[in-house]
């Protein structure tokens, strides 16, 4: 069944949409993950090749959880097409100080 984890018959896999940055008002990266703590750790430690590693995006400044990974993927695509000002407004709504939210995941 699509959207389920092996061994979890009928249970849909959830997902997270998140934004990483290098500093307040810095470069932004919008991503999606099924396990946000693991994914954020990978970004923080530079374990993922690509945009976040190239620009040093190690701060998790925004996240939202979805019950279905497909919803999270669609939301990520939507946010990626937003103007920067809308993304900044989204961050400010949850995290006006642009604090690293990584520790709040535990």
pLDDT exceeds 90 at position 41: yes
Yes or no: say if 14 and 54 are a contact pair by the CB < 8 Å rule: no
Could you tell me the domains of the chain? 15-105 (3.40.1440.10)
Partner residues linked to 35 by β-bridges = none
pLDDT at residue 11 in the model: 58
Mean pLDDT of the region 2-28: 77
């Amino acid at each position: 069944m699509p959207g389920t984890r092996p061994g979890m018959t009928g249970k849909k896999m959830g997902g997270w949409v998140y934004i990483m940055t290098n500093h307040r008002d810095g470069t932004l990266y919008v991503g999606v993950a099924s396990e946000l703590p693991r994914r954020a750790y990978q970004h923080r430690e530079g374990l993922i090749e690509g945009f976040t590693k190239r620009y040093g995006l190690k701060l998790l400044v925004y996240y939202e959880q979805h019950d279905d990974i497909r919803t999270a993927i669609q939301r990520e695509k939507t946010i990626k097409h937003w103007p920067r000002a809308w993304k900044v407004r989204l961050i400010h709504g949850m995290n006006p100080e642009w604090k690293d939210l990584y520790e709040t995941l535990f």
